[in-house]
């Protein structure tokens, strides 16, 4: 798409956007009765207007049926997760049997590591991205300690080259190959939360398998953002949250993926619970854990009905909008327009006030640009908020802006650019 730095261009793009109607299905934050331009869906997605209705529906089921709600009503709680599995699977390129909504992200990561981090002999190390989100760092540190290893020795981190902000795929692969005899597990975030880099998941997965390692992914910033193909790529396991790009509410329910090739592997450890027991025999209350079929066998506690209902509501919007094609195309164009506008600001200011550290290639990023301001970064961010534009700030010096295709518009991007230009002129003392 050829971009123009004009309101007329932005309005013209929005007028022909067939996904524009979904914007009206979300609630935007307000202050002094003025809506924010919301560019923070990478941290917390907006509330679908239907959210209050789905919560009321579940409260009504509770009121009308009480305990019988597990088996009565339009959507009995006992089987409710199965409808979500159908809708979740396309989001991550999986079979419905390979996914399950449950718990929250880091809890799920720990449960999956119980199964898939099995150090043996010299193969005990975990390789991961340097600067991963802290939850991943802490989870992995605690897991290797649990197995009796020193994190300083058992964890291999891959960092960008000196003077670069993002990782090169060839460097990740080279590090895996160089340490292949010692690596038990490869675990990366699908998209790095700080830089917005979408890693080459297929290539990294193949490299890990080539050295005999298990490969898992934290898709917190990838699920619902970019089209991943977990099943076809042969990924062993993955987990994600639902409250960022998938709009399932603060602290919303998490989800897991386990590739079907592991379903019959009786050598996998797992922390078991009643809800992961075979569904058809669950109420016999017998000793001896027998896992349910597929990813459902990794469940521990019973269905979280209301958080699941919120996720269900959002997943139906994704199904209607067409995630794999229509939403991705709009995402590429919106993010590309934001990049264009930021570059235009630098040209007007005659200085590189804003440096984009997210990769320029669309295949290496999702709906996020991470931006470093040359001067007064935190003040610029604060001034954006005062101008009713809400992104987020990540220490030490990054502004993250995420144009979400379900509810952001080209006009949002243009107006953000106008505000950034005005704020920057003041910060740089230019007329």
pLDDT of residue 430: 57
pLDDT of residue 324: 80
Residues ≥6 apart with Cβ < 8 Å to 141: 151, 155
**CB 159, CB 220: distance < 8 Å:** no
Give strand pairing partners of 323.
Answer: none
What are the CB-based long-range contacts (under 8 Å, 24+) for 273-280?
273/299, 273/300, 273/301, 274/301, 274/302, 275/299, 275/300, 275/301, 275/302, 275/303, 276/300
- Using CA of residue 128, residue 371, residue 353, residue 333, what is the dihedral sign? positive
Span of 189-198, 319-328, 387-396 with lowest mean pLDDT = 319-328
Of the candidates 25, 105, 91, 108, the residue with the CA atom closest to the CA atom of residue 313: 25
The length of the chain, given as a count of residues: 431
Mean pLDDT in residue range 295-323: 94
d(CA 349, CA 35): 28
Answer whether CATH 2.60.40.10 is correct for domain 54-320.
no
**CB 84, CB 101: distance < 8 Å:** yes
pLDDT of residue 428: 81
**CB 246, CB 225: distance < 8 Å:** no
pLDDT of 357 higher than 90:
yes
Of the candidates 182, 92, 169, the residue with the CA atom closest to the CA atom of residue 129: 169
Q: What is the mean pLDDT of the chain?
A: 96
CATH number of the domain located at residue range(s) 7-35+322-427 in this protein = 3.90.1150.10
Whole-angstrom CA distances from 400 to 3, 153, 314 are 21, 33, 23
pTM, two decimal places: 0.96
**Which residue bears the tokens 């190390």?**
125
- Using CA of residue 173, residue 179, residue 184, residue 188, what is the dihedral sign? negative
Whole-angstrom CA distances from 382 to 251, 343, 372, 379 are 25, 21, 14, 5
pLDDT tens for each residue of 6-50: 999 999 999 999 999 999 999 999 999 999 999 999 999 999 999
pLDDT of residue 296: 96
pLDDT of residue 431: 47
pLDDT of residue 209: 98
| More reliable by pLDDT, 412 or 283 | 412
Share of the chain above pLDDT 90, in %: 94
d(CA 64, CA 68): 9
Mean pLDDT in residue range 211-218: 98
Domain segments of the chain: what residues? 7-35+322-427, 54-320
How many Cα atoms occupy the beta-carbon half-sphere of 353 within 13 Å?
26
How many Cα atoms occupy the beta-carbon half-sphere of 86 within 13 Å?
7
Question: Token digits for 15?
Answer: 């007028």
Mean pLDDT in residue range 239-251: 97
Of the candidates 43, 251, 205, 216, the residue with the CA atom closest to the CA atom of residue 139: 216
pLDDT of 129 higher than 60:
yes
pLDDT of 266 higher than 90:
no
**Cβ count near 68 (within 10 Å):** 12
């Amino acid at each position: 798409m050829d971009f123009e730095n004009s309101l007329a261009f932005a309005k013209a793009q929005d007028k022909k956007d067939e996904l524009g109607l979904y914007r009206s299905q979300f609630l935007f934050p307000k202050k002094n009765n003025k809506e924010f331009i919301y560019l923070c869906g990478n941290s917390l997605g907006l509330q679908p207007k239907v959210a209050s209705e789905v919560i009321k529906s579940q409260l009504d089921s509770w009121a009308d049926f009480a305990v019988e709600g597990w088996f009565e009503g339009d959507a009995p709680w006992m089987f409710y997760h199965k409808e979500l599995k159908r809708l979740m699977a396309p989001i991550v390129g999986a079979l419905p049997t390979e996914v399950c909504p449950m718990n929250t992200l880091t809890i799920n990561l720990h449960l999956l590591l119980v199964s898939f981090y099995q150090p043996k002999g010299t193969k005990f190390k975990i390789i991961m991205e340097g600067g991963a989100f802290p939850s991943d760092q802490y989870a992995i540190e605690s897991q290797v300690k649990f197995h009796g290893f020193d994190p300083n020795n058992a964890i291999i981190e891959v960092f960008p080259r000196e003077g670069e902000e993002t990782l090169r795929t060839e460097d990740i692969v080279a590090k895996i190959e160089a340490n292949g005899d010692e690596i038990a597990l490869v675990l990366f975030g699908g998209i790095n939360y700080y830089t917005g880099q979408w890693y080459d998941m297929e290539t990294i997965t193949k490299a890990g398998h080539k050295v005999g390692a298990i490969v898992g992914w934290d898709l917190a910033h990838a699920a619902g953002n970019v089209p991943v193909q977990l099943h076809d790529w042969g990924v062993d396991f993955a987990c994600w949250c639902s409250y960022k790009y998938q709009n399932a509410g603060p602290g919303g329910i998490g989800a897991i993926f386990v590739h079907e090739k592991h379903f019959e592997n009786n050598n996998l450890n797992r922390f078991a619970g009643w809800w992961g027991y075979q569904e058809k025999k669950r109420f016999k209350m017998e000793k001896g854990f027998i896992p349910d079929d597929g990813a459902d066998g990794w469940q521990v506690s019973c269905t979280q009905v209301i958080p699941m209902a919120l996720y269900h509501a959002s997943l139906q919007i994704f199904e209607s909008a067409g995630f794999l094609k229509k939403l991705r195309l709009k995402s590429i164009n919106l993010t590309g327009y934001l990049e264009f506008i930021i570059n235009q600001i630098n040209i007007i200011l005659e200085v590189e006030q804003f440096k984009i550290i997210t990769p320029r290639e669309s295949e290496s990023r999702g709906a996020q640009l991470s931006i470093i301001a040359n001067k007064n970064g935190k003040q610029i961010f604060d001034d954006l908020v005062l101008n009713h534009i809400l992104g987020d700030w990540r220490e030490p010096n990054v502004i993250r802006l995420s144009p979400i295709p379900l509810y952001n518009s080209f006009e949002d991007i243009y107006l953000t650019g106008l505000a950034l230009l005005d704020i920057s002129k003041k910060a740089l003392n230019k007329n």
